[in-house]
Amino acid sequence: MKDASLSVDLAGLRLANPSMLASGILGYATETLERIVECGAGGVVTKSIGLKPCKGYANPTVVQTDCGLINAMGLPNPGIDEFAKEIHEAKAALKVPLIVSVYGFSAEEYATVARKAAAAGADGIELNVSCPHVKETGSEIGQNPKILAQVIRKVKASVHKPVIAKLSPNVTSIADIAVTAAHAGVDALTIMNTVKAMAVDVETMMPILANKSGGLSGSAVKPIALRHVYDVYEQVRLPIIGCGGIVDWQDAIEFLLAGASAVQIGTAVALKGPGVFKAITCGIGAYLRKKGFRSVNEIVGLSHRS
């Protein structure tokens, strides 16, 4: 039987396969992004970039747990004017869609950063409206339907590239927030950012992270992310990118069946290395062949059959 097609269309972004690098992991430098693409990623998302440079929090910023990582990096980034050169270089070097993750402290700021990122060569914009622990941006925006809609409308009016909103699980109903984002005109959704969490050192009797609390990613959050993808798929007719604890091809297939058109991988790249992209993509291809499907698209949302 002919090989199944792994390519997917994400609101106009053509991916050769549905695996993508999640924001926050190795997303600063062209060389590392090139390496991720060589290892098989169908698309890449940069670290979140703001209007001004930001040093981030003091160390420790990451703690490993039995089931994943808790991070509180605090949005470290060089600011969009400095990062624009990197976007330009990466766009020339990469053969896959380059999505720039942006954040701001107002709708205007999001729009300015998005406009500069698009002008520098970004193929798409991912709005980080869900960082779990930085005040006045992130989830404080993503939790507030009125402000979220303003951010999306302003960014959509400022750039002519697909705009993706990365939503927070730290809300009462992510599906309601997804509906708000859809009405405001967003093109796709990434479900989800990290889950609020913390770790305490029993010797020092203090929180381990300098910021005290952070966001949990990795295997522990996979069932949470899967459920959110499933719920959002039922409410919103937009492409969904599943993100949260995807480690192997079986995880990726679960997300596709729940309604995701593509998946982002972050913690598994940090813990197992970039070889995960090829392993996941090959596994998806073999699964589709074995089950007699001709393309990834044929299985998106299939678990919703009643």
- Angle made by CA atoms 275, 265, 57, in degrees to the nearest 5: 110
Q: How far is the CB of 139 from ligand RRO (least distance, A)?
A: 9
Q: x/- string (CB under 6 A) for ligand RRO, residues 1-40?
A: -----------------------x----------------
Q: Is 131 among the residues known to form the active site?
A: yes
209/57 Cα distance (integer angstroms) = 9
Q: How far is the CB of 221 from ligand RRO (least distance, A)?
A: 11
Q: Within 10 A of 237 (CB to CB), how many other CB atoms are there?
A: 6
Q: At what angle do helices 249-258 and 222-235 cross, to 10 degrees?
A: 30
| Interface with ligand RRO, residue 218, by CB under 6 A | no
Choose, by CB under 6 A, the member of 27, 74, 142, 245 that binds ligand RRO.
74
| Greatest extent of the chain over all pairs of C-alpha atoms, in Å | 60
| Contacting residue, 194, 219, 261, 281, with ligand RRO by CB under 6 A | 194
Smallest distance, ligand RRO to C-beta of residue 22, A? 10
> Which residue among 193, 219, 264, 267 contacts ligand RRO (CB under 6 A)?
193
Chain residue whose CB lies nearest ligand RRO: 215
Cβ atoms of 243 and 254 closer than 8 Å: no
Site pattern 43..62 for ligand RRO (x: CB under 6 A): -----x--------------
Euclidean distance between CA atoms 9 and 204, whole angstroms: 50
**Shortest spacing between CB 141 and ligand RRO, in angstroms:** 12
Catalytic residue among 39, 54, 131, 243: 131
Interaction residues for ligand RRO, span 83-142 (CB under 6 A):
128, 130-132
Q: Label residue 206 exposed, middle or buried (CB < 10 Å: 0-12, 13-18, 19+).
A: exposed
Q: Is residue 265 a contact partner of residue 236, using CB atoms and an 8 Å limit?
A: no
CA dihedral 293, 294, 296, 298 (to 10 degrees): -60
Stretch that binds ligand RRO, among 34-42, 73-81, 231-239, 245-253 (CB under 6 A): 73-81
The helix/strand count (H/E) of the chain reads as 10, 16
Catalytic annotation, residues? 131
Site residues (vs ligand RRO, CB under 6 A): 24, 48, 71-75, 128, 130-132, 193-194, 215
